Each structure stands twice: as C-alpha cells, then as structure tokens.
Amino acid sequence: MPEGKATRSKEDLLAEIEALRKENAQLRESIEESEKFYDVIGLMSSEMFWRSDAQHRFIYMSPAVVESIDMPMSEQLGKTRAELAGEDLNAPHWRQHLDDLEAHRPFKNFRYSRRRSDGEIREITSTGRPVFDESGQFHGYIGVAADITKRLEAEAKAKSAEDILMVAINALDCIFTIWDKDDRLVFCNDHFRHLNRFIPEQCEYGTTFEEHLHAVIDNGLIGDGEDPERWFESRMRRHRNPSGHHEVSRQDGLTILIHEARLADGSTITLSTDISEQKRAEKDLRESRKRLMDFSSTAADWFWEMNADLKYTYVSVDDADVTGLRVADYIGRTHRETHPRRFSENKLRAFEEMLKNHENFNDVRYSHILDDGREIHLAISGKPVFSDSGQFIGYRGGGRNIASLIETEEALRREKERAEQASRAKSEFLAHMSHELRTPLNAILGFSEIIRQQIFGPVGNGSYLDYASDIHRSGEHLLSLINDLLDLSKIEAGKFDIEEEELALADLVQQSERLFAHRFAQRRIRFEVHISDDAQRIIADRRALSQIFFNLFSNAEKFNKDGGMVTVTVFKAEDGSLCIAIKDTGCGFRIDETDTALAPFGRIENPMTKETPGTGLGLPIVDALTGLHDGRMEISSQIGVGTEVRLVFPESRVC
C-alpha cells in the first residue's frame, strides 16, 4: 500500500472517530434534554415517569419518584421493580406482572407497595409499554407511575364515613327513606322495613311512593277508623308538597310524625318518628293533671302565684275567711307588704332570703286579722318556676286555713305540758319515797342480819332464825326494787348525770361477772367472753355501764337453764359502731313479747319466769342507760333456744 494512501486512510479514520464522538455527544445531549423534558413534565403533572432496560432494571426515574418514596435516585436506578418493592413475589398479582414482563406485554395500573425511609408504606400504581427497535429487538419498558396512597386514604375515609352514616341512619330511632326525582325508593333504613314488614315487596328499591301507599292501604296498615281514600289523598298531597310536619295513623294504634323535604335534584327525604308513646304519655299527662287538680283541691284551700319580683299575681279564692285577705289586697304586693301577723322580723327576713335564693318552702305559717277582729291562721307552700331557658319567672304554690290545726297543736302542747308535769311529780315522789323507805328498810335489814347471825347470842327457838332469814330476803328484794325505781326516775327526769371516761371492757365484764360467779357455779352455767382486738375500750360512764352489765347478767342467770351458757361478745361492726352482745341459753320468749319485756314492770308470763323473782325494770333501765350513751338496744329471742341482747354504741365512743 502506498504511503500516501495509508496516510489518507488514517486521516479518514480519525475524522470518522471525531464524527462519532460528536454524534455521541449530540445523542447524550439529546438524552439529557429528553430526561430534563420528562423531569419538567413530571413536575408539572405530578406524574412519575420511568424507563427500564431489557433486564427490567430502572435506567431513568423522574424526580417525583424520589419525592414520593424518599429514597435517593442512585439507590433505585439499576434495580428492578421487584427488588425495590420487597413484597411476596409469589402473590398472584406479582406472578401475573412478572409473566407480563417476561412476555414483553404492556401492563396497566399494576399496584404494589414501597416503603419510605421513615417506614411509611406508599401505595404505587404503574403502567408501562414495551420498547422495540426497528428490527424488533426488545429494549425495555417506558411508562408512568402514580402514588395513590393519599387517594386510597381518602377513599377509605369516605367509605368509612359512608358506612358510619349508614349505621347511624339505621341506628336512628326514626324511619328514614329517600325517594328519587321519579318518586322511586332509593334508600330506606331498618325501621322503615319493620313498620312495613307485612308488605316487604313494596319496600324494595325502585318501588314508587304511590305503589307503596296502595300496598299500605290494601293490607290494612292504616289506623282504625281511617277512611282509606281520604288517608291516601292527604298523604299524597303532603308528600308532593312537603311543608313542615304532620301526623299519620298506622296499624296497631301507631302514630307517626312525618317530616319531608325536597332536595335540589328533585328527590325527597322522609324522616318519620314513632310518637305513639309520646301520644300515650300526653294522654296520661292530661289525666294526671286532672287527678292532680282533684287532689290539690283537697290538699290546699287556695292557690297563688308570684312573679319574678316576688309579688303576688294570682290568688284563686277571693274570700278573706279562706285566704285572710281579699284578692285585691294580695295582687301586686310582696308577702311583707300584705302585713302578715305572727311573723317576726327575723322570720320574715329568712323567708325573703329563701325566696331570693329560689328555694322550695313548705308550711310557712302566719295569720291575718279580719275586719270583725277574728284571727285567721294560714300556711303556704311553694316552689320556684323557671322558663325553658332556665330563667326564674316566679313562684307557684298553695295555701291552707290551719285554724283547726293550730287549735289541735295548742291542745296537744297543753296536754304535753301536763304530762311532763305529772311525770316530774311522779319522779319527784318516787325519789322522795325511795329515800323515806330506804331509812327504815336499812334498819330492818341490819336487825334481821343481826338476829340471823345471832351476833348477841342464841335466839333460843330455831323458827326465829327462819323468820329472820325471810325478813332479810324480803328486805333485799324491796331495796333492789327501790334502787331500780330511783334509777329509772332519775333517768326519766333527766337527772342521771354521766361522767365519761375511757374504760377497759374486759375489766368491767370481769368485775360484773364476779358478782354472779357463785350462782353461775351453783347452776353449772358456763360464762365465756370474746372481745376483738379493735373493740377493747369504750368511752362511757363506769357506773352506768356496770349497771347495764349487772342487769343483763342477772337476767341471763335467772332465766337460764341449769348447765346452760352465757356468752359475751364484743366486736366492731362494718360501720365502725361498737357492739356488745350478751347471749344466754334460757327459756326465751316470742318476738311479739319484746314490747312487754321493755316496758317498766313488764313481766313475760311463762312457766319458767313465773317462779323467777324480779321487778321488771332491768331491761328498761338498760335501754335508758344505753340511750344516754347515744346507743340503742336490740333484742332477739326464741322460745327454748335463748335470748340475745345487743347493745350498739356509735363509732365516736370506740377508743
């Protein structure tokens, strides 16, 4: 080859290479311009453009992809959709998609998920078509994608709202229907279907309103006594020209309140409420009001009203003998301005304060002097009246002429004073006589004890010793009776003063039990004490509590059986009160005999108690002494089983 020719070939080659470089630069510039164009289009349309190679690896993605997925472009290019999705590729929709890619088929709206860097899941749809060159060689896919996450969320919210609306409509305690512009049923709730449960075919969507009404009438689903033709015409007229609300009667005595409204598209919404209960309640209310007026006319002699300024505006009876004044003397005046008598200034101010505070009041008493000088005693009761908005508008009440009541109360007061005076005289007499009897009785007891003990030598005849013993026993019984009478009279007269101190119950019980230990032993009566840890001490009067234990132990011994048991239980109740229970296994008594046992000198007659000595004052004294300590006495008994006396003291006395 000649040197010149070789040189030209080299130059030609260099020129060709340079031309290729320029063409490559132009192509690269063209591609960059295309990508920029796609980027601009993507930004303007909010669409995500993409392109993949023959191996389905992404070679281009618009910036919208990065914004949506929050992943750098460098981490997405060169990877397939399956690699980026991270989903189960065996899922049916993925198998179908992968089959389309392998077959180079176009696909549309393929949906898959992508996870952002913050963990949020984004829902993506992608549409693509295959790219082939002129020779039919496959070069990959080009397509668009969209982030439908917000749309799906909006659709889900809309669906949820729709479902909630449907549930709410069905849950409404009303009948709800929608009729379209052609007056065909397009929606109804369960209450509508229940009301018309006997004509289910005429409750199907597409039924006209007129067809539905004819079915209601033909099946007797209108109120008794209704004229079918007039009922139909009235209902159709109101339906075609909805305005306000109206009532219709249906089967089984139902009353339906109907509200209808015409919408802009010509459809009609019907909202109906079953007001049958309300109608019955209104009827009952009318009857109740009538009964109330009947009752009120017997419970009050007259009725009155005051306005918000607390001035009388209405008095039902214009008779001064009934109301104390004529109506004209009440109207426009406050209660003070009517000049009520037997109403001190302090009492009147307190009453006016009650009215200003809008409080209920009962039995407020006063009087008026009539022209003839007679005094009319009255009592009024009232309650405040408020408007629907809660504004005070006055008072309403009733009044009574209580002249006979005042006379009765005055008579009772006088009788009470006489009874109290007699009781005081009795107590003073008992206290005086007890003292007068004790002096000679003590001498009798002393001398009989000297004779019985033969302190100054033998008396000679043994019969005198027996007589002396009988005299001593009778004297002791009489002294016990006098002591009981004196204690009871002091309590009734309010002269039994208690000196409170903190006492150990175990010590008091033990001291009282010692007085009966000999008799318990003689009759083989067991004595048990159970005192809980939280009920060891009490605040009380030592002498009174000792007397209580003495009387109860005495009864438990006297009325017990040989070989029986007496149990003392002390515990703290759930409400904090202190309970002392003394239980025996004696003869017991019927529950209806309790009042007799608690009455002074009360003696229950049965074979066992008949022969047992006693004054009948033990339990009344226990009850009175317990009351002085703010306590109460409870008795339970059963014949042949025994008796339990329970003393309950308030929590304030527990130490």
Residue 550 sits at φ, ψ, to 5 deg, of: -60, -50
User: In CATH terms, are 46-153 and 497-653 the same topology?
Assistant: no
In this predicted structure, what is the pLDDT of residue 299? 64
In this predicted structure, what is the pLDDT of residue 45? 47
pLDDT digits (tens, 9 = 90+) for 191-235: 999 999 999 999 999 999 999 999 999 999 999 889 999 999 999
User: Of 60-64, 174-178, 526-530, where does mean pLDDT reach its minimum?
Assistant: 60-64
- CATH topology (fold) of 160-280: Beta-Lactamase (3.30.450)
CA angle 63, 67, 73 (to 5 degrees): 55
Contact of 181 with 265, CB cutoff 8 Å: yes
Domain borders along the chain are: 46-153, 160-280, 292-401, 409-489, 497-653
Please state the rounded mean pLDDT for residues 317-333.
90
The alpha-helical segments, DSSP class H, found in 300-356 are 320-323, 327-330, 345-356
Report the distance separating Cα 574 and Cα 616, nearest Å.
Answer: 34
Q: Identify which has the larger pLDDT, 45 or 154.
A: 154
**Percent over 90 (pLDDT), the chain:** 38
Tally of residues, the chain: 655
What SS3 state is found at 194?
A: helix
Report the distance separating Cα 191 and Cα 122, nearest Å.
Answer: 42
In this predicted structure, what is the pLDDT of residue 488? 65
In this predicted structure, what is the pLDDT of residue 514? 87
Ranked by mean pLDDT, the top range of 159-168, 256-265, 283-292, 299-308 is 256-265
In this predicted structure, what is the pLDDT of residue 475? 67
In this predicted structure, what is the pLDDT of residue 601? 56
Query: Is 3.30.450.20 the CATH classification of the domain at 46-153?
Result: yes
Q: Is the pLDDT of residue 298 over 60?
A: no
Token pair listed for 332: 């426009």
In this predicted structure, what is the pLDDT of residue 74? 85
What SS3 state is found at 551?
A: helix
In the CATH scheme, what is the code of domain 292-401? 3.30.450.20
Please list, in sequence order, all residues whose beta carbon lies within 8 angstroms of the beta carbon of residue 263, skipping any fewer than 6 positions away. 269
291-307 per-residue burial string, b: 16 or more CB within 10 A, e: under 16 = eeeeeeeeebbbbbbbe
Please state the rounded mean pLDDT for residues 271-299.
76
CATH architecture of the domain with range 409-489: Orthogonal Bundle (1.10)
Residue 60 sits at φ, ψ, to 5 deg, of: -155, 140
Please list, in sequence order, all residues whose beta carbon lies within 8 angstroms of the beta carbon of residue 75, skipping any fewer than 6 positions away. none
CA angle 397, 398, 399 (to 5 degrees): 135
- CA 354 to each of CA 64, 197, 338, 350, 427: distance values in angstroms, whole numbers, following the listed order: 76, 58, 18, 6, 44
How many Å separate Cα 75 from the centre of its chain? Answer: 63
In this predicted structure, what is the pLDDT of residue 44? 46
Q: Which CATH class is domain 497-653?
A: alpha beta
